[in-house]
Amino acid sequence: MRKSITIVGASLAGLRGAEALRRDGFDGPISLIGDEPHAPYDRPPLSKKILAGDWEADRAALTPAERFADLNLDLRLGSRATKLNVDSQTLWVDGEPEAYQGLLIATGARCRTLPGTEGMNGVHTLRTLNDCLAIRTALEAGPRRLVVVGAGFIGAEVAATAVGRGVPTTLIESLAAPLERVVGNMVGEVVAEVHRSNGVDLRCGVGVTAVHGREQIEAVELTDGTIIETDLLVVGIGVLPNTEWLEGSGLTIENGVVCDETCLAAPGVTAAGDVARWLNPRYGELMRVEHWDNAVEQGPYAARRLLVDQPANPFTPVPWFWSDQFDRKIQLAGRPSPDDEVQIVNGSIEEHRFAAFYGSHGKLRAVFGMNRPRQVMQGKNLLAQGASWQEALAVAAAWE
CB 275 within 8 A of CB 243: yes
Across the strands, what pairs with 363? 360, 388
The CATH class that applies to domain 113-235 reads alpha beta
Distance CA 77, CA 68 (A): 13
Q: Decide: residue 295, CB within 10 A, 0-12 exposed, 13-18 middle, 19+ buried.
A: buried
**% of the chain exceeding 90 in pLDDT:** 94
Residue 1 has pLDDT above 50, yes or no: no
Residue 66 has pLDDT above 90, yes or no: no
> Do 113-235 and 5-110+239-305 have the same topology in CATH?
yes
* Residue 170: predicted pLDDT: 98
* All structural domains of the chain with their residue ranges: 5-110+239-305, 113-235, 327-397
* Residue 69: predicted pLDDT: 84
CB 242 within 8 A of CB 108: yes
Across the strands, what pairs with 110? 240
Sign of CA dihedral 243, 9, 109, 127: negative
CB 320 within 8 A of CB 370: no
Distance CA 312, CA 297 (A): 16
The CATH class that applies to domain 5-110+239-305 reads alpha beta
- What is the maximum span of the chain, computed from C-alpha positions, in angstroms? 67
Distance CA 392, CA 302 (A): 32
Across the strands, what pairs with 96? 93
Residue 58 has pLDDT above 80, yes or no: yes
Q: Determine how β-strand 363-370 pairs with β-strand 353-360.
A: antiparallel
**% of the chain exceeding 70 in pLDDT:** 100
DSSP string, 75-141: EEET--EEEEETTTTEEEETTEEEE-SEEEE---EEE---TT-TT-BTEEE-SSHHHHHHHHHHHHT
Q: Average pLDDT, stretch 118-147?
A: 96
Distance CA 319, CA 380 (A): 9
Residue 306 has pLDDT above 90, yes or no: yes
Distance CA 116, CA 105 (A): 32
Q: Average pLDDT, stretch 14-20?
A: 97
* Residue 209: predicted pLDDT: 96
68 — pLDDT class (breaks 50, 70, 90): confident
Q: Average pLDDT, stretch 372-387?
A: 97
CB 309 within 8 A of CB 274: no
CB 86 within 8 A of CB 246: no
Q: What is the pTM of this model?
A: 0.96
Q: Decide: residue 400, CB within 10 A, 0-12 exposed, 13-18 middle, 19+ buried.
A: exposed
The tens digit of pLDDT for each residue in 77-104 reads 999 999 999 999 999 999 999 999 999 9
* Residue 285: predicted pLDDT: 93
**Superfamily of the domain at 327-397:** FAD/NAD-linked reductase, C-terminal dimerisation domain (3.30.390.30)
Residue 400 has pLDDT above 90, yes or no: no
Residue 367 has pLDDT above 80, yes or no: yes
Phi, psi values for residue 105, rounded to 5° = -95, 115
